[in-house]
Chains A and B, each alone.
Chain A
């Protein structure tokens, strides 16, 4: 075990609109049976990183509950383990986490008490699959102080919501801008970093002295000329659920065979907390095309080009198209839902009509539900 892991799962993102009212971004359900943080966690576990700290803060209840048992991701309890750090009042400080670097700073003993030489930091709201050992070897070969995993985006894609980097021929990062109005390259930072543990402790201690709180602005960008910061290009699928559109598109990506094969039919697996739900049931009148259906669902209507999450009930004569139905939703008969994201635990009355006209409509409807 050469590295310990840190997953930053504390932030909020207002561009997720109503969806972030219910849960932390990293607890957003993805691809039917998973939550966003499962990808980072599974990658850590599959890369044999046995000790992982998860920093939670905003709307942490469902996330903490999801992480309550480390056994689903195979984190050994005697050697290593899964540590969930939510801000706590101590003798030294009673602040919430004021930024990504501050979160690490308030839990510096976690880093100090470990003996592994490297730290892999990942944000929890990215959907990707990688072996961190490859980045670690690259980091060691380049004698880097920090390695930033990055990805070339397609030219048409608008990159102004990402961190943009420019590397020289040896992949050393020369420029790093956070969310620039005019981007100079299309290489974005994936939010995944490898640092030497002692180095990280030093940099964080400096941040504490200077009252600086953000990992990207105060550590990466500030030190880019003084430290050897290198970029590692990620070629496979990577997506980040920062906005409602990104979240919607990421889920829809799983309808494509290459993406779902890459994540689900290639070793190693992605793990998640097991929910003990019965198999999906398709009654007469069920008509499914090009969709993902999860366990525990009972379908009586038409579902096209959609992702239906766990334990949802779709009534008779319904028409669901191009939508995401989150967990435990009850959709009454004769309902039309198109271009929508239906929030989890909603109860939608019969004969409803919801259609997203310009972009995705988020449907939040809580009516009384009569349990049979």
Chain B
């Protein structure tokens, strides 16, 4: 009979709308990070490094890139006879077919999957954070405290506490109360959205609340358990943990990787981050080029100058091009003589010769100022930028654009040019 001690359920269905065009066609966990990785590589690698070999990945929004990336889980050693990684999209049933309406609803709809492994404990994870964590240690804490639910928490500066779900604990770390985005927080322990449930507790809680619309862990399941006086404990995590939910935080987290001794160290031997590598060849750095304070992925050819940037795999940077403070994702071609400043360029983009980005004054973006801000230029995947165009700051371009789309070869600061959509 199959029995797994702990299985993991990874919630990867969200859109991540605050990443703008980066997630128009791609779920947030599949967005590239750190040159060659994708955001979901971090929780997946954490699972296998913690000894968890059964992971259900719940997808919903635009899962194609994610599914291709995960495959049967070979890169994370999750190709197993029993267990391994399984992608779980919403599915039709004979009655009551529905999309996943909330985080806990998604888990509830996959009860049979979880039951088939007869687990003792279930680990609930989000798929959109950058961190390294040994879940085995969290499980030991859970067992030691006799908890039914353990919530991973992170101490945050008290001024920031009002942005999070806050847990109030006693000396033994048992949770006595919690508040969602409180004006006057009583503690600084923020919930990370990572939970370990004893399976019996989770199953009972899900079944009891199955009718709740938009069933959510933070809003419904945890309060339900607390009301029933189930022992809830807070596991304090003190390592690097970054939410890359906005373009600005995404950019900052990438840039932190290029410090001399980065806080988040990818070069550690014993806790490797695995990913699906499509490209193997080494990078070629030409004569007359310059690469400084940057990280570069495999198969990239650099003929220009790159400073303070994160470059993905299979990228070509043309001659006399200067790239600063930018993130360029896989398979993108940057032409000759370009100048890129604080740009985030998605995958498979073609940028023509002599294009300048991120120049001029900074103006708020005209359509979505809260998404495209901080002077970042965003170019969505598979876009084409013709030769000689100049693009200002806080702008966004998405789609195959032609010279005619740019009056006077100029896209001002704060402008939005989105041409992608269904071909007619």
Contacts and interface: CB of A to CB of B under 8 A. Distances in A.
A307 B282 contact: yes
B128 interface: no
B281 A274 contact: no
Interface in B277-308: 277, 280-299, 306
Interface string B108-119: 000000000000
Contact of A272 (B74, B260, B274, B280): B280
B252 interface: no
B357 interface: no
B413 interface: no
A288 B285 contact: yes
Interface string A287-304: 111111111101000000
Interface stretch (A29-37, A186-194, A346-354): A29-37
Contact of A279 (B75, B288, B297): B297
A19 B275 CA distance: 32
A271 B282 contact: no
Nearest to B275: A276
A31 B281 contact: yes
A284 B298 CA distance: 20
A270 to B, nearest CB: 7
Given A278-B273, A279-B35, A282-B295, A33 B280 contact: yes
Contacts of A287: 290
A281 interface: yes
Interface in A132-164: none
A281 B75 CA distance: 22
Centre residue among A274, A288, A290, A292 by max chain B CB count within 10 A: A288
Interface string A243-276: 0000000000001000010011000011110101
B75 A276 contact: yes
Contacts of B34: 278-279
B258 interface: yes
A291 B300 CA distance: 12
A295 B272 CA distance: 14
B36 interface: yes
A279 B298 contact: yes
Contact of A293 (B267, B277, B283): B283
Contact of B74 (A71, A263, A293, A307): A71
B41 to A, nearest CB: 10
B292 to A, nearest CB: 6
B281 A33 contact: yes
A114 interface: no
B284 A255 contact: yes
Interface in B216-241: none
B260 A283 contact: yes
A309 B275 CA distance: 20
A260 to B, nearest CB: 7
A260 B301 CA distance: 11
A237 to B, nearest CB: 15
Contact of A264 (B288, B295, B299): B299
Given A278-B273, A282-B292, A293 B285 contact: yes
A147 to B, nearest CB: 31
Contact of A289 (B283, B287, B297, B298): B287
A286 B258 CA distance: 13
Centre residue among B75, B275, B291 by max chain A CB count within 10 A: B291
B260 A276 contact: no
A280 interface: yes
A274 B292 contact: no
B72 to A, nearest CB: 11
Centre residue among A276, A281, A289, A308 by max chain B CB count within 10 A: A281
A192 B288 CA distance: 40
Contact of B282 (A281, A285, A294): A294
Contacts of A286: 291-292
A284 B259 CA distance: 10
A288 B283 CA distance: 11
A349 B238 CA distance: 36
B208 interface: no
B137 interface: no
B296 A289 contact: no
Nearest to A371: B269
Contacts of B284: 255, 260, 291-292
Contacts of A307: 282
Contacts of A276: 75, 272-275, 277
Nearest to A311: B267
B82 interface: no
Contact of B287 (A71, A271, A279, A290): A290
B280 A271 contact: yes
A288 B294 CA distance: 12
Contacts of A296: 267
27 contacts: A31-B281, A32-B282, A33-B282, A270-B280, A274-B277, A276-B277, A278-B35, A279-B34, A279-B35, A279-B295, A279-B297, A281-B295, A282-B306, A283-B293, A284-B292, A286-B292, A289-B289, A290-B285, A291-B285, A293-B283, A293-B285, A293-B296, A294-B282, A295-B297, A295-B298, A308-B282, A309-B282
Interface of A: 31-34, 71, 255, 260, 263-264, 269-272, 274, 276, 278-296, 298, 307-309, 371
Interface of B: 34-36, 74-75, 258, 260, 266-267, 269, 272-275, 277, 280-299, 306, 311
Given A270-B281, A295-B36, 4 more contacts: A276-B274, A282-B295, A286-B292, A294-B282
Identify the 3 closest CB pairs spanning chains A and B, nearest first.
A32-B282, A279-B35, A278-B266
